């Protein structure tokens, strides 16, 4: 018995010495016990980083979140002002001059392909395991971008003014538009910003192709034309109806568009769930808000996709890359970060470790459509880079400014603009 007690005593003393040694180690913690940089409880001082992103809607909330991150971790984040339609041009200039941000946003498709040399490989970062299936941005099989979230767009409508059962095809769309106009309402509003004018509404005829990517490849090579493809020909007829019955979008800016919708002057807007950010102060609108498919060719599905991904600038210093990854880890795993994504940014999560129980009315529609598969893809990310802003928008502007220009003539202009941009 004495021998057993002696052995136990030695073991206890050894364990105590080991614990004390661990407590007194030079780095202040035992191996493997400290939290990862950027995780809740992390206190490691990291390099200051910068963030540049394209979504105007989250500019304010992102700045507030950066301050929250600093207060929780002691690490600094500088948010550069978002640039809207000029974002890509400004980003490329900064990256080329080696003055790029540590973290920036990119859209999938040709834009990502153009910028891929600046993407840091995130495949082994801990937060990537939470990205929903098929949602991560990948290049050569490597995860390089984490999605903001999914987004969707279609016809956002006022339930007091529009019944979706009466907007199912070209004929019913036309009669609804004419009735609303006769009632003194602006039936459907587009706005002058490039994507809100033509980029998003042009998605539907592309998405309804049997193989959108193959169609776009043929269009790039001049083997097909929008002007001779039936889905686009019907879009031209829809646009002619919009032009004849609605306020000229060249006289409408995004904030005016949404203000008129919120106050009941406009019955429908071609917009996405992000537009709720302009409606949240009009709480009486919540029960009236709906989103339905743009009914081209009888389409019944809204368009859902990933608009932007967060990426880390591979040209940044190793310390900056480490700090940037720590911020993304905090963003996607901490309660503060997850709360901001859902409640402040109003994003529909593309991460499996997040809940979405408090979505706004428009985001709920997108979330339900995503879960049920009642969606068509986003195809505009597959377009030649910056074509919507530089080439397609000017053609659409001409169409809406010239009273006698038809939708079919617009298609011909779009074909010419596309051929030039695809060279």
Contact (CB, 8 A) for 240 and 174: no
Question: Rounded mean pLDDT of 382-400?
Answer: 95
Residue 155 lies in a domain: yes
Q: Which long-range contacts (CB under 8 A, 24 or more apart) does 62-69 make?
A: 62/345, 64/344, 65/331, 65/336, 65/337, 65/340, 65/344, 68/336, 68/340, 69/327, 69/330, 69/331, 69/336, 69/337
Backbone angles phi, psi at 6, to 5 degrees: -65, -40
Domain boundary among 319, 354, 389: 354
Same-domain check for residues 164 and 288 = yes
Q: For the ranges 99-103, 210-214, 304-308, which has the lowest average pLDDT? A: 304-308
Higher pLDDT pick, 277 / 371:
277
CATH number at residue 246: 3.40.190.10
110 located within any domain: yes
| Mean per-residue pLDDT, 184-212 | 97
Q: What is the pLDDT of residue 83?
A: 67
Please give the pLDDT value at position 56: 86
Looking at the fold, whether 347 and 385 belong to one and the same domain comes out as no
The answer to the question of residue 44 being in a domain is: no
| β partners of residue 103 | 51, 312
Q: What is the pLDDT of residue 43?
A: 57
The candidate with the shortest Cα–Cα distance to 380, out of 369, 388, 368, is 388
166, 172 Cβ separation under 8 angstroms: yes
Query: Considering the domain boundaries, does residue 81 fall inside one?
Result: yes
Are 51 and 103 in contact by the 8 Å Cβ rule? The answer is yes
pLDDT (tens digit per residue) in 283-328: 899 999 999 999 999 999 999 888 799 999 999 999 999 999 999 9
Last residue of a domain, one of 354, 373, 393: 354
Residues 72 and 117 in one domain: yes
CA nearest to 375, candidates 158, 152, 149: 152
pLDDT in tens, 235-268: 999 999 999 999 999 999 999 999 999 999 999 9
Considering only residues 82 and 320, tell me which one the structure prediction assigns the higher pLDDT: 320
Question: What's the pLDDT score for residue 2?
Answer: 39
Residues 269, 234 share a domain: yes
Q: 137 and 234 share a domain?
A: no
Is 3 among the domain residues?
no
pLDDT at residue 119 greater than cutoff 90:
yes
Whether residues 226 and 273 fall in one domain: yes
* Structure confidence at residue 343 as a pLDDT band (50, 70, 90): confident
| Residue pLDDT, tens place only, 41-77 | 455 789 999 999 988 889 999 999 999 999 999 999 9
pLDDT value of residue 32:
35
Q: Does residue 287 sit in the same domain as residue 209?
A: yes
Domain containing residue 327: 49-149+307-354
Shared-domain flag, residues 214 and 272: yes
Res. 13 pLDDT band, cuts 50 70 90: very low
- pLDDT at residue 25 greater than cutoff 50: no
113 and 133 in contact (C-beta within 8 Å)?
Answer: no
Structural domains counted in the chain:
2
Model pLDDT for residues 360-390, shown as the tens digit of each residue: 999 999 988 877 778 898 999 889 988 999 9
Contact 100, 122 (CB under 8 A): no
Give the pLDDT band of residue 36 (cuts 50, 70, 90).
very low
Write down the pLDDT at residue 44. 76
Q: Which residue has the higher pLDDT, 151 or 28?
A: 151
Same domain for 95 and 109?
Answer: yes
DSSP annotation string for 17-43: HHHHHHHT-TTSS-TTTSPPTTSTT--
Does 28 reside within a domain?
no
For residues 78 and 91, membership in a common domain is answered with yes
pTM score, two decimals?
0.69
pLDDT of 129 over the 80 cut: yes
- Percent of the chain at pLDDT > 90 equals 70
Please, which residues bridge with residue 310 across strands? 105, 146
How far apart are the C-alpha atoms of 349 and 33, rounded to whole Å?
Answer: 30
For the chain, the average pLDDT equals: 88
My answer on whether 142 and 237 are in the same domain is no
Q: What does the pLDDT read at residue 359? A: 87
Question: For residue 36, is it within any domain?
Answer: no
**Assigned domain for 274 exists:** yes
Say yes or no: 296 and 259 in one domain.
yes
- In the chain, count of helices (H) and strands (E)? 16, 12
Which of the pair, 229 or 1, is modelled with greater confidence?
Answer: 229
Radius of gyration of the chain (CA): 26
């Amino acid at each position: 018995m004495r021998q057993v007690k002696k052995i136990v005593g030695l073991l206890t003393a050894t364990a105590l010495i080991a614990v004390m040694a661990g407590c007194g180690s030079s780095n202040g913690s035992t191996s493997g016990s400290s939290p990862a940089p950027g995780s809740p409880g992390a206190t490691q001082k990291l390099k200051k980083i910068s963030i540049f992103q394209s979504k105007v809607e989250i500019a304010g909330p992102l700045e507030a979140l950066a301050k929250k991150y600093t207060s929780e971790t002691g690490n600094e984040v500088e948010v550069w002002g978002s640039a809207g339609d000029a974002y890509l041009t400004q980003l490329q200039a900064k990256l080329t001059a080696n003055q790029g941000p540590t973290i920036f946003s990119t859209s999938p498709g040709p834009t990502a392909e153009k910028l891929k040399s600046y993407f840091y490989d995130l495949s082994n970062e801990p937060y990537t395991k939470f990205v929903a299936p098929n949602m991560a941005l990948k290049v050569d099989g490597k995860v390089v971008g984490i999605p903001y979230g999914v987004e969707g767009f279609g016809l956002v409508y006022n339930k007091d003014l529009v019944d979706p059962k009466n907007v199912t095809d070209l004929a019913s769309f036309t009669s609804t538009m004419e009735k609303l106009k006769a009632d003194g309402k602006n039936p459907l509003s587009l706005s002058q910003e490039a994507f809100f004018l033509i980029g998003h509404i042009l998605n539907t005829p592309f998405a309804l192709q049997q193989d959108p990517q193959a169609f776009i490849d043929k269009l790039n090579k001049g083997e097909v034309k929008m002007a001779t493809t039936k889905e686009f020909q019907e879009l031209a007829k829809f646009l002619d109806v919009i032009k004849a019955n609605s306020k000229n979008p060249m006289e409408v800016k995004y904030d005016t568009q949404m203000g008129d919708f919120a106050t009941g002057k406009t019955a429908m807007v071609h917009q996405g769930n992000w537009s709720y950010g302009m409606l949240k102060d009009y709480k009486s609108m919540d029960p009236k808000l709906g989103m339905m498919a743009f009914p081209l060719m009888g389409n019944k599905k809204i368009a859902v996709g990933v608009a932007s991904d967060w990426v880390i600038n591979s040209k940044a210093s190793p310390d900056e890359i480490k700090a940037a990854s720590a911020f993304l880890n905090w963003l996607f795993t901490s309660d503060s970060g997850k709360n901001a994504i859902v409640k402040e940014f109003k994003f529909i999560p593309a991460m499996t470790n997040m809940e979405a129980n408090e979505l706004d009315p428009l985001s709920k529609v997108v979330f339900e459509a995503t879960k049920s598969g009642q969606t068509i893809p986003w195809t505009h990310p597959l377009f030649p880079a910056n074509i919507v802003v530089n080439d397609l928008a000017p053609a659409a502007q001409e169409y809406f400014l010239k009273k006698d220009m038809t939708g079919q003539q617009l298609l011909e202009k779009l074909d010419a603009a596309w051929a030039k941009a695809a060279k």
